[in-house]
Amino acid sequence: MFSGHSGAGKSTLINAIEPSLKLKVGEISKQHKQGIHTTTFAEMFPLTIGGFIIDTPGIKGFGVVDFDLQEISHFFPEIFKTSAACKYNNCLHVNEPKCAVKKAVENGKIALSRYKNYLQIMEGDSENYRVDIYN
Ligand SMILES: Nc1nc2c(ncn2[C@@H]2O[C@H](COP(=O)(O)OP(=O)(O)OP(=O)(O)O)[C@@H](O)[C@H]2O)c(=O)[nH]1
Ligand SMILES: [Mg+2]
Ligand SMILES: [Zn+2]
């Protein structure tokens, strides 16, 4: 099974092994310098040399693509609980004024490491995960 980031060349490699499959491959986005999720579902193919191969859609970080930003705090119980005291009920706890979460981080009631993880997921910054997965 091939898995990896969109645009890594999974489908291209499978086409090289089994050209008759003619799997669709995509351009790399000029703006984002990454793939454009050309493969949209996992599919298994038999190989002429024997065995099977599975092409999968590119992963992006660990699935943050489909997250509603508001929802991320639901997975951090202490952030979720504290957010009830934020001035704005749709506060994302990033730059908003009168944010109870930022305040709790400042006075040590919420661990800075937890808040940093929260921000990292908010920003879709998956660099750490890439390092973990591929090294
Ligand atoms: N320069 C270079 N380009 C490559 C290589 N492998 C693939 N490409 C190009 O990278 C682009 C993306 O390749 P795909 O095979 O569609 O990538 P993928 O991993 O299947 O991407 P998703 O289906 O979106 O997950 C295509 O334009 C390929 O021609 C490589 O080894 N070198
Ligand atoms: Mg593909
Ligand atoms: Zn807040």
Query: 71-108 pLDDT, tens per residue?
Result: 888 889 999 999 999 999 899 999 999 999 999 999 99
Give residue 76's identity as a one-letter amino acid code: F
In the structure, ligand 3 is a single-atom ion and the residues with CB under 5 Å from it are: 86, 91, 93, 99, 101
Ligand 1 neighbourhood includes 58 CB (under 6 angstroms): yes
Q: Over the stretch 22-63, which tens digit does the pLDDT of each residue have?
A: 999 998 887 777 888 888 889 999 999 999 999 998 876 554
Ligand showing the shortest atom-to-Cα distance for residue 35: 1
| Whether the predicted model's global pTM rises above the 0.75 cut | no
- pLDDT on residue 15: 97
123: β partners: none
* Portions of the chain given CATH number 1.10.40.50: 64-134
CA distance 89 to 84: 7
- Looking up tokens 């109870």 gives 100
Which residue's alpha carbon is at the smallest distance from atom 3 of ligand 1?
A: 9
11 close to ligand 1 (CB < 6 Angstrom): yes
CA–centroid distance, 22 to ligand 1, in Å, is 13
Q: What's the CA-to-centroid distance between 135 and ligand 2, angstroms?
A: 22
CATH code of domain 64-134: 1.10.40.50
